[in-house]
């Protein structure tokens, strides 16, 4: 999905960016509910995501725009974007090509607490 | 679910708390995939959640422990807890009593971007 300027402006008005100019963005696989990852967006990343329909984050470690999949090919295509009650979190519905996680696992939440400690619950995808 | 001390210690070792001592926590309804809310936990909140099986956050606005549902009755019971690849986000599987959102809606992500702007997609629950 891409959105016209009016809709983008309306959304940006409602986002409560933090002191670093960032908002948390949860990526969820469209249709299955699988939570893929949590990352961050600045104003330009939100705008670019809505204008192009390709999900772009802000990389806090690299301090640069992070066009998801630009090097890996593991692109996220935007299907929907919701904002929470106080405007400091976004929920993206996405189509994910390949692995969402840099470990090549389907999603980043592959370690679960169990009675005996932390257990790895998914393995890397073979490309 | 509640967890023994060994498992709690193992998880806490893996959490990368930020400069404010916090980690982002996504609450997802167990069994449906519905993302309910994004909130924050400090070390004590993570520990209390795992020890008691009742989800407790850290309220950044009140700077206090936030035992979800303590005043509203809208308690979250922990079913599972996962941590992401770089340790700075948690994904909680929960059973939610009543509304997760303080607006009395089922979840906090009730506004969606559409071509014509921001649309409210769910209404408050009648108790």
To the nearest 10°, report the CA torsion of A101, A104, A110, A116: -140
pLDDT in tens, A17-62: 999 999 999 999 999 999 999 999 999 999 999 999 999 999 999 9
Interface residue B15 vs chain A (CB under 8 A) = no
- Cα B37 versus chain centre, distance: 6
The per-residue pLDDT for A127 is 63
Question: Which residue among B10, B113, B121 sits closest to A11, beta carbon to beta carbon?
Answer: B113
Cα–Cα distances (Å) from A76 to A35, A80, A111, B120, in that order, read 13, 12, 22, 25
ipTM over 0.90: yes
Q: How far is B112 from chain A (nearest CA, A)?
A: 4
Residue A84: its chain B contacts at CB < 8 A?
37-38, 108-109, 111
Q: How far is B114 from chain A (nearest CA, A)?
A: 7
Question: Which residue among B10, B80, B115 sits closest to A3, beta carbon to beta carbon?
Answer: B115
Residue B127 has pLDDT above 80, yes or no: no
Interface residue B89 vs chain A (CB under 8 A) = yes
């Amino acid at each position: 999905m891409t959105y016209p300027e009016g809709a983008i402006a309306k959304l940006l008005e409602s986002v409560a960016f933090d002191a670093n100019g960032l908002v948390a963005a949860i990526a969820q696989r469209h249709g299955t509910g699988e939570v893929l990852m949590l990352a961050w967006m600045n104003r330009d990343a939100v705008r670019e995501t809505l204008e192009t329909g390709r999900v772009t984050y802000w990389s806090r470690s690299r301090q640069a725009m992070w066009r998801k999949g630009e090097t890996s090919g593991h692109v996220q295509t935007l299907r929907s974007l919701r904002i929470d009650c106080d405007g400091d979190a976004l929920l993206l519905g996405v189509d994910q090509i390949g692995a969402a996680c840099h470990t090549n696992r389907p999603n980043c939440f592959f370690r679960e607490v169990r009675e005996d400690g932390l257990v790895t619950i998914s393995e890397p995808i073979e490309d």
